[in-house]
């Protein structure tokens, strides 16, 4: 099946928002999604965007059972490794279930490799998501939790506010 992978536009944000929720349901965390398509539009298409996004699209004659032609997305942003240089962090990679196994994921990943000549692609996968972990391992990804002992750490909400409040007053 033919997939076109292209840079997302502001007009794609409703479709990306829909798929973010589908991914959250799959990951058993739909209550964690708080962002709206309007926020995606602003944050991804402002003067200094916080993220970039690719979408996978099929021709109208191959639309999904629900009538969608945008059937996948990869949302990412740039980071920097002080050891290696330019890096890209893949926040989400999602393809609707009926389009998985048809090279769409591989095409999205291949397009990501071309991002600003980055030397590293980083991402997180839930520990119970064995099919996805196995897929990435088959592509050559390293599980840094196992090989190097790195843990992914997060501050948010009140804990993030507490950090900010510890800063000296100017």
DSSP E strand stretches across 52-139:
52-57, 70-81, 85-95, 120-123
Catalytic-role residue among 73, 76, 94, 136: 136
Q: Please provide residue 14's backbone torsions phi and psi, each rounded to the nearest 5 degrees.
A: -65, -40
Question: Token digits for 158?
Answer: 């009140």
Q: Which long-range contacts (CB under 8 A, 24 or more apart) does 130-139 make?
A: 135/105, 139/109
Does residue 73 carry a catalytic annotation?
no
Q: Domain 4-143 sits in which CATH superfamily?
A: Gcn5-related N-acetyltransferase (GNAT) (3.40.630.30)
Q: Does position 45 have pLDDT exceeding 70, yes or no?
A: yes
pLDDT at res. 166: 86
> pLDDT at residue 23 above 90?
yes
Cα 22 from Cα 145, distance rounded (Å): 27
pTM summary value: 0.90
Tell me the average pLDDT across 25-54.
Answer: 96
């Amino acid at each position: 099946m033919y997939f076109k992978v292209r840079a997302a536009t502001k007009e794609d944000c409703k479709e990306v928002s829909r798929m973010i929720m589908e991914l959250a349901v799959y990951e058993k965390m739909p209550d964690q999604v708080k962002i709206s398509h309007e926020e995606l539009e602003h944050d991804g298409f402002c003067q200094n965007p916080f993220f970039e996004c690719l979408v996978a699209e099929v021709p109208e004659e191959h639309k999904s059972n629900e009538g969608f032609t945008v059937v996948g997305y990869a949302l990412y942003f740039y980071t920097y490794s002080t050891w290696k240089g330019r890096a890209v962090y893949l926040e989400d990679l999602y393809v609707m279930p009926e389009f998985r196994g048809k090279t769409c994921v591989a095409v999205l990943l291949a397009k990501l490799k071309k991002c600003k000549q980055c030397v590293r692609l980083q991402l997180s996968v839930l520990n119970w998501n064995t099919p996805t972990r196995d897929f990435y391992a088959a592509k050559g990804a390293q599980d840094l939790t196992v090989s190097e002992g790195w843990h992914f750490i997060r501050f948010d909400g009140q804990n993030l506010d507490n950090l900010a409040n510890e800063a000296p007053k100017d």
